[in-house]
Amino acid sequence: MEKKTAFAKAGEKAPLIWGLGFGILFGFLLHKGGVTKYDVIVGQLLLIDHTVLKVMLSAIVTGMLGIYLMKTLGWVKLSPKSGSLGINVIGGLIFGVGFGVLGYCPGTIAGAIGNGYLDALVGGLPGIWIGAGLFAAIYHKVRDGILKKGHFGDITFPGLFKVNDWVVVIPTATIIVLILVWMERSGL
Amino acid sequence: MEIFNELRWSPYAVGIGIGMLSWLTFLISGKPLASSTSFARTSGMIEKLFRGDKVHDKLYYQKTKPRVDWQWMLVLGIAIGAFISALLSGDFKGQWIPSLWESAFGASHLLRLATALLGGVFLGFGARWGSGCTSGHGISGTLQLAVSSWISAVCFFIGGIFAAWLLYHVIA
């Protein structure tokens, strides 16, 4: 616990520098994974290259086991996002269409720009700014209407099922690992 | 270190690395890996250049202040980290047209840029509507087993697979 306090304090003192440092590691990994490339991302969406899924599922399993262990130890607090069907289904589908048409997402487009890809810098980046600006312009109109439809809040699956965290974590991790093993065995 | 000069690492090694990185961001900064809010903040900062303090009248920018924060630095870092990795592996190159795109739609700069811009508009709008992107919901939210993030992540892929199918199997 003392260690955690020291860490947290260091983090509070220089939050921006920590953000930059973590970002550099994240970007380095994204490039090494090949996911700063349009061909790899769209290859996934065309179901011919499963790199994106392999990276994401391995990150989810690893992250989940560590984060829930640290939560159990009282070292970290979760920050699940509040949601609703109006937010997550509609927003997710609009985002998904953009993901397929642009061929990058907000994190990987930053990596694509670092990789030198000019369609990301000159086309996609200003597009994202415009899209975010458009949403800011209409936010007051949708906030209390469609965004509240099917509201369920910031729950997690263990909270939803009212069970101990590990009752969900262990089976989820097992299923994801089995999916990855199956993908590898069948040459996907 | 030879390994840093390699163009690609195993996707599993990269995924495990990203998962471990998320431990550190939670432990040290108390924050998940996420990206898309930063683009909204930048959009607000750009709007502020033209409209001044009037930008703060917008409800959205009262909630999401147009300024540089931890996550904004994270996104800047992503570009720098990818640049370093690309340089080390001899993969940094100015490229206008991805090869997969060119194989289906030709080498027109204008067509690719216009499509990327349009896709970006949907992506930016959808990320704000859905309050997260492939990193915030797709990795950080799902690993916390957040219900909102699993729904979002599934919808990202439904929308994305549909758009890619439409572009490559219907339009092309």
Mean pLDDT of chain A: 94
Place of tokens 């100015």: B94
Q: By the 8 A CB rule, do A67 and B145 touch?
A: no
**What is the structure's pLDDT at B1?**
77
Structure tokens at A163: 């069970």
Q: What is the mean pLDDT of residues A128-148?
A: 97
Per-residue confidence band for A4, with pLDDT thresholds at 50, 70 and 90: very low
Which residue from A99, A130, A142 is facing B159, i.e. has the nearest CB?
A99
CA distance B130 to chain A (A): 4
Break chain B into its structural domains and give their ranges. Answer: 1-94
pLDDT exceeds cutoff 70 at B172: yes
CA dihedral B129, B134, B136, B142 (to 10 degrees): 110
Identity (one letter) of the amino acid at A8?
A
Contact A60 B139 (CB under 8 A): yes
Exposure class string for A129-161: b at 16+ Cβ within 10 A, else e: bbbbbbbbeebeebeeeebeeeeeeebbbbbee
Distance CA B55, CA B65 (A): 10
Which residue from B6, B77, B126 is facing A21, i.e. has the nearest CB?
B77
Per-residue confidence band for A63, with pLDDT thresholds at 50, 70 and 90: very high
Place of tokens 């099917």: A150
Model confidence over B111-122: pLDDT tens digits?
A: 999 999 999 999
Contact A96 B155 (CB under 8 A): yes
Q: By the 8 A CB rule, do A105 and B160 touch?
A: no
Distance CA B102, CA B15 (A): 29
Q: By the 8 A CB rule, do B15 and A57 touch?
A: yes
Residue A8 with chain B: CB contacts under 8 Å: 27-28, 30
**What's the predicted TM-score (pTM) here?**
0.95
Structure tokens at A155: 């729950």
pLDDT exceeds cutoff 60 at A85: yes
Q: Which of A73, A81, A168 to mutate to test the interface with B (most CBs of B within 10 A)?
A: A81
Q: What is the mean pLDDT of residues B105-115?
A: 98
Residue B50 with chain A: CB contacts under 8 Å: none
Per-residue confidence band for B164, with pLDDT thresholds at 50, 70 and 90: very high
Of A38, A27, A61, which Cα lies nearest the Cα of A178?
A61
Is the CB of A167 inside 8 Å of chain B's CB atoms?
Answer: no
HSE at residue B148, side-chain half, CA atoms within 13 A, is 27
> How distant, in Å, are the alpha carbons of A19, A70, A110, A167, B21 from that of A63?
18, 11, 22, 17, 8
Number of Cβ within a 10 Å radius of residue B68: 15
End-to-end CA distance of chain B: 43
Distance CA B168, CA A106 (A): 22
- Quick one: CA dihedral B37, A78, A152, A53, positive or negative? positive
Among chain A residues, the shortest Cα distance to B109 is held by A119
Number of Cβ within a 10 Å radius of residue B107: 10
Residue A133 with chain B: CB contacts under 8 Å: 40, 43-44, 46-47, 124
Model confidence over B60-95: pLDDT tens digits?
A: 999 999 999 999 999 999 999 999 999 999 999 999
| A84 DSSP β-pair partners | A151
pLDDT exceeds cutoff 50 at A3: no
The angle at the Cα of A63, spanning A59 to A68, to the nearest 5 degrees, equals 155
CA distance A185 to chain B (A): 14
pLDDT exceeds cutoff 60 at B127: yes
Note whether ipTM > 0.95 here: yes
Residue B22 with chain A: CB contacts under 8 Å: 59, 62-63, 66-67
